[in-house]
Structure formats: structure tokens, C-alpha cells
Amino acid sequence: MMRLLLCMLFCAATLVAAEKTVHEYTLNSIDGQAAPLAAYKGKVVLLVNVASKCGYTPQYTALESVYEKYKDRGLVIVGVPANNFGAQEPGSNQEIKSFCSSRYHVTFPMMAKVSVKGDDITPLYQFLTDKSAHPQTGGEIQWNFTKFLIGPDGRVITRFEPEITPDSPPVTSAIEKALASVKS
């Protein structure tokens, strides 16, 4: 009987862990305000770890273009600056914000700089990269501009590696498919 009870408790704990979503996490906005991702419930989110001095930095142009194209249909792009790769995001949050707005005219939400790997990984990225929670999309972030597409329910749909641009057919097709599930 005790074995059965322990098994049931383990199964219940596993189900609860599997039910966790991106909406349970809070980052800080680039201006330092709490930015709960629960604010994006019902929206499709493209979460991207970004950097200002990377070979992929020009993807900001495509990110802004995709945001402008789909934001009225329920897409939110969230830029998450990180300095984990080649010290390519060395600036302060204010410097990052200024760079993004003046150079790339970014209007999508930008968060405060975090760590997306290593001992100081932020809890959101610990969750996103957890292979046991996300066997298809988990795994350590390899470089800047890794993209996670999140459904309206807060669950990870897919992941795109840095070399896949935000305006490429695989990304826009996945966004359009996810947006089709958004309730008007």
C-alpha cells in the first residue's frame, strides 16, 4: 500500500512539473520593472536571447519586421539580452536600450540583461533548456539569437538556432500556425 501511495505521489509531482509554463516566470524589463510573462497569456511569444556586438545582431531588423507584421494578430517578441557568448553584450541595460532603439528602431519588449547558461542561469532559461521538461527543444543555449516560440498557453512549441533568421519561412510558418490557435 505504501509503495502504491509513493508511486501516486511521484506521478502527481511529475504531472505538476510537466504542467509548468513560461507564464510562471518573471523577468525585469530593460527599464528595471518586473515583467511577468503571465502578461502574455493568450499571445504567441518569440523569446530571443540577444546581443549588441554579435555577427547575428542584424537580426534585430528582421525581429522588428516580424513583430510589426504579426503583433496585431497576437505575436509578442521578447528580447532577452545576455553576455554569455564572447562578451558580446557588455553594456548596461540603458546602453542596450539606446543601441536597440537608435540603431534598429526596436519597439518590441526588451528585458534586462540576464545569464542564459552557466552557474548563474536565470530560472526562465533553466526551464527552457531543461531536456527532461523539453526533450525536443531543451539543451544548452549555444549562442546569441536562439529563438523559442511559445504558444498562447505558455508552452514551448519549437526552438530555432541562431543561424535561422526570424523572417525565414520555417520561423514565419511556425508563427502563423501558432497564431491560428490564438482566440480572438
What does the pLDDT profile of the chain (184 residues) look like in tens digits?
Answer: 656 544 555 554 444 445 799 999 999 999 999 999 999 999 999 999 999 999 999 999 999 999 999 999 999 999 999 999 999 999 999 999 999 999 999 999 999 999 999 999 999 999 999 999 999 999 999 999 999 999 999 999 999 999 999 999 999 999 999 999 887 6
Give the fold, CATH level 3, of 21-179. Answer: Glutaredoxin (3.40.30)
Of 7, 11, 54, 100, which residue is the catalytic one?
Answer: 54
Domains of the chain, by residue range, sit at 21-179
7 has catalytic annotation: no
Per-residue burial over 94-126, b if 16 or more Cβ lie within 10 Å, else e, is eebbebbeeebebebbbbbbbbbbeeebbebbe
CA distances from 171 to 160, 163, 167 (A): 8, 12, 6
Span 140-175, pLDDT tens digits: 999 999 999 999 999 999 999 999 999 999 999 999
